[in-house]
Structure 1
Amino acid sequence: MDIIQLVDLAPYDWVSILTAIFCGGIIGFERQLRGKPVGIRTSALITLGTYLFLATTFLLSSDHIDPSRVIGQVITGIGFLGAGVMMNKDGAVAGVTSAAAIWILAAIGVIISVGHLMAAIKLSVLVVAILYGVDLLEKNIKALGRGVHAKIKRYSRSASRD
C-alpha cells in the first residue's frame, strides 16, 4: 500500500473535509474563547459529521433515497444536541446562542456537502462577526443590555458571604 492509497478518502474529498473542519473550527474558536459549551472540537465535529452524512446520502442517491429527508433528520438530531446545551437558571433560559450556533454549524455542513465551499467559509466568518459584533454592541449601547440580555454581576463566594 502506497502513501496515496493510505490518505485517499474517495469518494469523499479532502478539500471538503478540511473546509468543514475549518468552518466549524473558526466558529468554535470564538465560542471557546468566551468559555461557551460549544468549542472548537464540538463545532468542527458537527460540521464534519453533517458533511459526511449528506455526502454519503448523495453517493447512495436512487429513486428510493431522498437527500432532503436526510437533511430533515440531521436537523432533528441537531435540535436534540442544541437542547442539551440549553439550561434553565432561576427562570431564565441560558445557552440559546450556543444552541443556535450548533444549528448553523449543521447548516454549514449541508452547504459544504452540496459543493459550495467558499459560501460556507464566508458564512462562517459572518457567523463569527455576528457573535462578536453583537457582543460589542451590547457593551456599547446600554439599551441592548436590558431584560433577559442584562449581564448579571457575579460575585466570588467570599464576597457573597459578607
Structure 2
Amino acid sequence: MTPIDLIIRLLLAAGLGAAIGIEREFRHKSAGLRTNMLIALGSALFTVMSIRFAAAAGTPDRIASGIVTGIGFLGAGAILQSGGTVHGMTTAATIWVNAAVGTAAGAGEYAIASVATLITLVVLALLQPVENYFERRKP
C-alpha cells in the first residue's frame, strides 16, 4: 500500500463519515459531524494497520472484531431508557454502520463504503416520515 493509497482510504472514510454526520447534525442528534467522522476514520485506520501488519501477525480479522466490540460499547452509550421508552437506537445503529463504512474504506473497498453510506443516508432521511406515521398509530 502506497502512502497515496493510505491517504485516499483515510480521507474517504472521513468524508463518508462526514456525510452521515451532517445528516445527524440536521436532526440535532448527539452523535453528529465530528463524532461520525472520527468513528469512520478510526475504523479505517485500524483496518489499514491490520492490513499492513497482516504479514507479520497473520490475523488481520482480529482487528475487525476489535472494531466491532469497541463500537458496540460506544453505541451502547448512545442508548437511553426512560420509563418504558428507549431512545438512541437509531444513533447507536448509525454508529455501528459508520464503523463498517470506515472499515470498508480502510480495506480499499471504495464502492462498498460509498454505497453503504448512500443506503444509510436514504434510511435515515427518507424513512423518518414512515417511522413517524407508525409511531402516531400506536395505541
**TM-score normalised to structure 1 length:** 0.77
The answer to whether the aligner puts 1:111 opposite 2:104 as a matched pair is yes
Determine the structure 2 residue equivalent to 1:74: 67
* Cα distance in structure 2, aligned partners of 1:14 and 1:64: 23
Mapping for residues 117-132 of structure 1, pairs under 5 Å: 117-132=110-125
- Unpaired runs of 5+ residues, structure 1, are 1-8, 151-162
Distance 2:59 2:69 in 1: 16
Aligned residue pairs total: 138
* 1:2-151 matches, cutoff 5 A: 10=3, 13-62=6-55, 64-139=57-132, 142-143=133-134, 145-147=136-138
| Cα RMSD (Å) | 2.0
CA contact (8 A) 1:12 1:55 kept: no
Answer whether contact 1:21 1:47 (CA < 8 A) is retained: yes
118-127 or 19-28, larger mean C-alpha shift? 118-127
Structure 2 gaps of 5+ residues are none
Query: How many Å separate the matches in 2 of 1:136 and 1:110?
Result: 30
Aligned-pair CA distance for 1:12: 5.7
Aligned residue identity for 2:99 = A
Q: Specify the SS of the correspondent of 2:81.
A: strand
Separation in 2, partners of 1:23, 1:51: 11
User: TM-score, normalized by length of structure 2?
Assistant: 0.89
Q: What code does the residue aligned with 1:41 have?
A: R
1:17 positional shift: 1.6
TM-superposed CA distance for 1:137, in Å, is 2.1
